[in-house]
Amino acid sequence: MNTPHYIAGRWAAGKGTDMLSVFDPSIAQPFAELRAASTGQVDEAVAAARQALPAWKNSAPDERARYLRGFAEAIDGQRDALVELQMRNNGKPRREAEVDIDDAVATFAYYADLAERLIEQQSRQVALAASGFSSHTRLEAIGVVGLIVPWNFPLVTSAWKIAPALAAGCTLVLKPSEVTPLIERTYGQIADQLGLPAGVLNIVGGKAEVGAALSAHSGLDKLSFTGSNAVGSRVMHSAAEHCRPVTLELGGKSAIIVFDDCDLDQAIEWIIAGICWNAGQMCSATSRLLVQQGIADALLPRLAEALDALRVGSPFDEEIDMGPLSSAAQWRKVSEYLAIGQEERLNCLAGGTPLERPGWFVAPTLYAGVPTESRLWTEEIFGPVLCARRFDSEAEAIALANDSRFGLVATVASADLQRAERVAAALEVGHVWINSIQVVFVETSWGGTKGSGIGRELGPWGLAAYQSVKHVTRCLG
């Protein structure tokens, strides 16, 4: 903990004024403390990345692929320790923490494969209508990138950014969340083990001061941010001042649409997974339930019973279904929304209160018949709070789902697959699941429309986000 920051291939003590307390949310007690980086150390990290860029950018793609596979293997080799740290610092149940590790491993392995294919993609000829000229495409690293990641899926969201950035030939400065500053240190440790060239990967931790310094830094060529809309707006403003590209993965208020031909048990499984995974602390949480009239009277009471029956507790209790919220600040925010639900006299079918016990726990909550003007219907809560409304027709369901300033994801549940595909095509979001829990594959894209962000991560689109396209055209005469 004395040297938590990784700059130019060396571990460094923090020189900032802030102290970062690392908490176990299941007991609301700190178990580690470290000093934040200073803005001067942000400068050092960016300078190190800038110095390392030419050699890394011009390195052979298969060499970069070798390092990426090394990251995948090293993460997998530390699986048990990383799972335990996720459980202790995030409050994730073991099975959820294990999925996160699998996700990070798969991400590095996938981008290792894409890095190798870059050899084939370079110097690709472009067909020209005019004669007497030839032209070919070069895909080049965009340069030095700043990466700012959140606390709800540490290690995962950073893998989604680090792996494609390194595959493209970029060098980077990573700023982890002050809530979960420990697990991303793993990437610096692996870089040491693999002999990654100094300055290619840098990690500086801290609070808002460090994030603002990185966002505003003139030495960056791109910013990639995952987090709240409020902070994302400031990050975008910083990017605009330097006229540089930005990827933003922001909030959501996503819908799950359940048609009346659904199997009740399956529908309840999908609904609960969409709102209670990671205690609802997901930008993709399907927190608006749209249920067709014909199934609503049967589904809503059974859903309330199922939510009430969920076992909420410490992630180290192997029998639990949902852990605590990850921070005191998030617990206060969710508690405030539960108070708003009481003030608005919403029909609460399950939960509705924080839990009276040590730690940052809230009960899985279901409100029925929530007005569309309610703050609980329109605002991102980031907790296990589900708001339900009924609908009659397919057109009404689509209109209700699209009536949001967000557009990240949606789920459609129906035995009529033609209808499900039709609805999926009409939804104004970046990813739709049909008759499924929210499984995310590295080969698919991630990102949204409207206020849910700019750009895409994962898949080949994630790699393209860190590439600059250059055309070389010459006269043949």
CA distance 118 to 61: 6
User: Contact at 8 Å (CB) between 279 and 333?
Assistant: no
Phi, psi of 208 (to 5 degrees): -60, -35
Q: 137-160 b/e with 16+ CB inside 10 Å = b?
A: eebebbbbbbbbbbbbbbbbbbbb
CA distance 252 to 380: 6
In 105-148, beta strands by DSSP E: 124-125, 133-141, 144-148
243 is catalytic: no
249 is catalytic: yes
Phi, psi of 126 (to 5 degrees): -110, 130
CA distance 96 to 338: 25
The CB density around residue 95, as the number of other CB atoms within 10 Å, is: 11
Which of the residues 96, 178, 184, 249 is marked catalytic?
249
CA distance 319 to 337: 28
Which of the residues 170, 262, 283, 387 is marked catalytic?
283
CA distance 446 to 74: 25
The DSSP 8-state label assigned to residue 308 in this structure reads H
CA atoms within 13 A on the CB side of 467: 23
The DSSP 8-state label assigned to residue 37 in this structure reads P
User: Contact at 8 Å (CB) between 106 and 69?
Assistant: no
Active site residues per annotation: 249, 283
